[in-house]
Amino acid sequence: MKIKVFTAGGTIDKVYSESKGTLNFSFGKQAVVEIGENKVKLNFDYDIERLLAKDSLEMTDSDRELIKKACEGSVANKILITHGTDTMVNTAKLLSEISDKAIVLTGASQPYRFRESDAEFNIGVAIGALNVLKNGVYIAMNGRVYEWDKCQKLDDGRFVEK
């Protein structure tokens, strides 16, 4: 199995540092890269490419088109996208026009580097799902995998079925 991983930013890849009494963020090494290099011995072929390093609330239609074109151009038919959770459904909607690939979007409610982060868990669920999913666009969050248009994010940050 070959998985293409695209990273787009979002909380999952944020690095927080205290400076001048305020909490600032930037984007560091992608969480999925660190997990693959330092945490687990992955038993499949994969390639990781950073497309964006943005908070999803700052993503534009052009950013989403960039993600779509990258997915369409990928030779892999299984794609994982790490993405900010606030607008991941919007990106999934655009990607739903792609019918010949299984695409899973995931993210995290806390940065990967935080002890309380759900990043590793969500990435693991997403990769596991790609092993068995049929073509389509899905969101993997909070231990569940949803068809992109059958879930919603609640105010408390959890994704649930519509």
The pTM of this model reads 0.89
pLDDT one-digit tens code per residue, 32-65: 766 666 667 777 888 889 999 999 999 999 999 9
Confidence of residue 86 (pLDDT cuts 50, 70, 90): very high
Q: Which CATH number fits domain 2-161: 3.40.50.1170, 3.30.1490.100, 3.90.550.40, 3.40.640.10?
A: 3.40.50.1170
**Length of the chain counted residue by residue:** 162
Residue 22, Cα to own-chain centre: how many angstroms? 27
- The CA distance from 162 to 160, in Å, is 6
- The CA distance from 140 to 122, in Å, is 6
pLDDT at position 49: 93
State the average pLDDT for the chain. Answer: 89
Nearest to 108 by CA among 34, 32, 42, 38: 32
Written as six digits, the tokens of 66 are 């960039």
Confidence of residue 29 (pLDDT cuts 50, 70, 90): confident
If one compares 103 and 30, the residue with the highest pLDDT of the two is 103
SS3 83: coil
Nearest to 53 by CA among 17, 12, 98: 12
Cβ pair 100, 77 in contact under 8 A: yes
pLDDT one-digit tens code per residue, 95-133: 999 999 999 999 999 888 777 889 999 999 999 999 999
- The CA distance from 61 to 99, in Å, is 20
- The CA distance from 108 to 86, in Å, is 10
pLDDT at position 153: 96
pLDDT for residue 75 is more than 70? yes
pLDDT for residue 134 is more than 60? yes
- The CA distance from 82 to 79, in Å, is 10
Greatest extent of the chain over all pairs of C-alpha atoms, in Å: 49
